Amino acid sequence: MVDVNPAFCAITGYSREEVIGQNPRILHSGKQSSDFYTAMWGALRKNGHWKGEIWNRKKNGELYAELISINALLDEAGNAINYVALFLDITAVKQQANLELMAHYDSFTGLPKHALFIDRFKQALARSKRDKTLLAICYLGLDHFSQVNNTLGHETCDALLIETAKRIKVSMREKDTASSMGGDEFVLLIGDIHNVVECEHALNRIQGAIAEPHLINGRKASITASSGVVIFPIDNAEHEILLRHAEQAMRQAKREGKNCRHSFDSAVDA
């Protein structure tokens, strides 16, 4: 390091005298891989500039996040002779974002928590009414999960739940929503569909992905799911009732033999 300004010293805790002549590696936090720095220096050599986020470490050992922009200073022949780095401490912003993430998303499955799910549910209903499209609400429950838990143990079942949540997310479109209802149950919102067949194709894809064998800690595990479906506005109810109807349909699917799907019929229910 050739020179630093007072703001650098205030953020990192190092005095100017302590860092002049030192390699910037004294700030490394260990949170970025060597591949990260290889890519960064590759971009610098190719383009003469790089911008991104880095976690570094202060003199007292505390980690801080920075948004940094690095630019090469070139001589008359176009060769880099120095690099100027300008950075902003964004630790507070990252911490706030992390708190919001924890507030809205389940740390176990990574799926939206109940409050965020209900907010998206209401938005999806409003879009369905506005665009005159169908919205499928699917309540999904894993089959024989307690037996799998007793056979494979809690750790393996936890890993199985996490893997199942990943498969559900990957099998759904980005504009759709999946949420954990606790334990081995999930609820899905599949919007912007124009007929029941589209819904059936989507659910076949999701339930098929869940049923594919899992390899957890070197052990093969298999699980299936039963689902209950209600279609809005065929069932023209409020979100709480739609959710309850979908759950009722899922319970019926389990009674009918598991690994199947049951559609809620308001006339039969009445």
Confidence of residue 84 (pLDDT cuts 50, 70, 90): very high
* pTM recorded for the entire structure: 0.64
Question: Which long-range contacts (C-beta less than 8 Å, at least 24 apart) are formed by 234-240?
Answer: 234/134, 235/264, 235/266, 239/118, 239/121, 239/122, 239/125
CATH architecture under which domain 106-269 falls: 2-Layer Sandwich (3.30)
Residue intervals of the chain classified under CATH 3.30.70.270 are: 106-269
Helix or strand holding residue 9 (H, E) = helix 6-12
pLDDT at 20 over 70: yes
Residue intervals of the chain classified under CATH 3.30.450.20 are: 6-96
Once rounded to an integer, what is the mean pLDDT over residues 88-116?
81
Range 6-96 has CATH code 3.30.450.20: yes
